Amino acid sequence: MFLDSLILFLSSLGMPDASSTRHRTSGSTARDDYLEQILNLIEEKGYARPIDISKRLQISQASVTNMLQKLDAEGLVTHVKYRGTTLTEEGMRIARAITDRHETLTRFLELFDIDKDTIYRDVEGMEHHISRATLEAIRSLTNHLQKNPKTLREIKDSE
């Protein structure tokens, strides 16, 4: 019953269909993770060094350097040895789209009082594979539930 109501609600929002333009990502989960972490580091520290990226992603510094060279060749970052890494305009656009996905999915799951570790693991898996249509539906539903706490309580009580 709840699922039927949810589907009806989402269809009433006039969401684009799955064939509509997607939030563009790099097309690779690994590349997405790198771009997301580079953006996070730049926002937190003002710069992104291979050693910091290595620690965040829990992989070797040599692997990070190899990927940064690939991302540089693809025009997504500018990597200067011993100086650090910056995002190009395209890299920044992709990183922001990934961050937006992450934040939207996190906001939605937090509504249901799921523990933060579970949310983080789940979002890390979902953010790379979700279509724009689904993301927009989740964003609309999240906004609706935040503005209508009674509806959220009804959903939680029906579990």
Residues 98-118: pLDDT tens digits?
Answer: 999 999 999 999 999 999 999
Mean of the pLDDT values across residues 74-100? Answer: 93
Question: What is the tens place of the pLDDT at every residue in 11-63?
Answer: 554 444 443 334 456 678 889 999 999 999 999 999 999 999 999 999 999 99
Q: Which positions ≥6 away from 114 have C-beta within 8 Å?
A: 122
pTM above 0.95, yes or no: no
pLDDT: which is higher, 152 or 3: 152
Question: What b/e string do you get for 4-19 counting C-beta neighbours within 10 Å, with b at 16 or more?
Answer: eeeeeebeeeebeeee
**Does residue 66 fall inside a structural domain?**
yes
Q: DSSP labels for 48-70?
A: B-HHHHHHHHTS-HHHHHHHHHH
How many domains, the chain?
A: 1
Q: Which two tokens stand for residue 49?
A: 């060094």
Residue 46: inside a domain: yes
CATH number of the domain enclosing 47 = 1.10.10.10
Residue 129 within a domain: no
Return d(Cα 9, Cα 157) in angstroms, integer.
18
Asked if residues 2 and 155 have their Cβ atoms less than 8 Å apart, the reply is: yes
Number of H helices, E strands in the chain: 8, 2
Q: Is residue 38 part of a domain?
A: yes
- Give a yes or no: residue 58 inside a domain: yes
Structure tokens at 85: 């890494």
Query: What is the span of the domain harbouring residue 41?
Result: 29-92
